[in-house]
């Protein structure tokens, strides 16, 4: 398994710190938030010039959010081209359509659209991974079944987010991982308590069954500390790396 880190940054100094220091804490890559790459989407050469190509997996994943209307689809296609140019492995899509009032037919239609877009992503040498999310179309346990039964040819993958599962009322994280392991290509490890995201180990999620299940299914993809608690970047880099390392060691010893 490869360990990544993701955290929003609000200033150029914070982004510089994140981009230049993550490897010193043991991470193999970053999964970038939209604000960290969006200014470069139409100019990938400028991103490469500023941040270099000698650091593997600097942009291993690109996290984005939007709708599946004409504008949103065009934005995804532009992001596929950018991802290919800067060496990303996947685009991680949060579907910003609110869950309320959606029917199963709506979710099936979204699955078909994303399947087609996933095939386009593959032509660029990347994968399209759906990030399920609180108050988005794939939110409830049944939504996963409806979506992936309608998706075709494994062309759209799945990013599991531990905190968004809990926030959505799904507490059997390990069960979701087991049931959808053939689709999962990315794991966001995030903690939560009382509806607020926390530094890893400071929330209420019991991560031992999560890491044990990942070990049992021989998962070999990315595990990303998706840090959205508002903590200091360097503190979060250090504490999350320690938490992930210790959790992986503990799971492998069981």
Tell me, what's the pLDDT at 27? Answer: 96
Place of tokens 């609180």: 134
Say if pTM beats, i.e. exceeds, 0.85.
Answer: yes
What average pLDDT does range 20-46 have in this prediction? 96
Which residues of the chain form beta strands (DSSP E)?
A: 2-6, 29-32, 61-66, 90-95, 127-131, 156-161, 184-189, 191-193, 196-198, 222-226
Q: 158: domain range? A: 2-253
For residues 17-22, average pLDDT: 95
pLDDT band at 131 (very low <50, low <70, confident <90, very high): very high
CA distance 37 to 29: 15
Pairing mode of beta strands 191-193, 196-198: antiparallel
pLDDT tens digits, one per residue of 180-196: 999 999 999 999 999 99
The whole-number pLDDT of residue 54 equals 63
* Percent of the chain whose pLDDT exceeds 90: 94
Residue 53 has pLDDT above 70, yes or no: no
- Residue 127 pLDDT greater than 90, yes or no: yes
* DSSP H or E stretch at residue 70: helix 70-86
Residue range 35-50, pLDDT digits in tens: 999 999 999 999 999 9
pLDDT computed for residue 169 by the predictor: 97
Between 184 and 254, the more confident residue is: 184
Give the number of domains in the chain: 1
User: Can you give the pLDDT at residue 94?
Assistant: 98
What pLDDT shows up at residue 82?
97
- So what's the pLDDT on residue 251? 84
Distance between CA atoms of residues 145 and 153, nearest Å: 15
Sign of the four-CA dihedral 76, 78, 80, 86: negative
Mean pLDDT for the chain? 96
| Best CA proximity match to 239, nearest among 191, 171, 188, 193 | 191
Q: What is the mean pLDDT of residues 21-34?
A: 96
Q: CA–CA separation, 162 vs 209, rounded Å?
A: 12
- Given this model, what pLDDT does residue 154 score? 92
Predicted pLDDT at 203: 97
In the chain, pLDDT over 70 holds for what percent of residues?
Answer: 98
What's the rounded mean pLDDT across residues 85-113?
97
CATH of the domain at 215: 3.20.20.150
Cβ(182)–Cβ(218) below 8 Å: no
């Amino acid at each position: 398994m490869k360990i990544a880190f993701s955290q929003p940054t609000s200033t150029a100094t914070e982004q510089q710190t994140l981009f230049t220091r993550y490897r010193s804490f043991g991470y193999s890559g970053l999964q970038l938030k939209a604000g960290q790459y969006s200014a470069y989407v139409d100019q990938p050469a400028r991103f490469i010039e500023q941040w270099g190509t000698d650091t593997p997996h600097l942009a291993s994943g690109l996290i984005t959010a939007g709708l599946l209307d004409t504008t949103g689809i065009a934005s995804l296609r532009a992001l596929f081209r950018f991802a290919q140019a800067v060496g990303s492995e996947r685009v991680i899509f949060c579907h910003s359509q609110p869950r309320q009032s959606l029917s199963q037919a709506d979710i099936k239609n979204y699955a078909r659209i994303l399947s087609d877009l996933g095939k386009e992503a593959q032509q660029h040498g990347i994968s399209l991974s759906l990030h399920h999310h609180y108050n988005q179309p794939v939110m409830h346990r049944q939504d996963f079944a409806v979506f992936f039964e309608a998706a075709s040819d494994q062309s759209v993958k799945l990013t599991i987010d531990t905190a968004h599962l809990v926030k959505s009322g799904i507490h059997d994280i390990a069960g979701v991982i087991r049931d959808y392991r053939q689709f999962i290509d990315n794991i966001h490890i995030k903690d939560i308590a009382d509806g607020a995201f926390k530094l890893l180990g400071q929330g209420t999620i019991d991560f031992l069954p999560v890491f044990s299940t990942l070990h049992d299914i021989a998962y070999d993809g990315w595990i990303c500390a998706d840090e959205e608690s508002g903590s200091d970047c360097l503190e979060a880099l250090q504490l999350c790396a320690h938490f992930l390392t210790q959790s992986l060691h503990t799971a492998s010893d069981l």
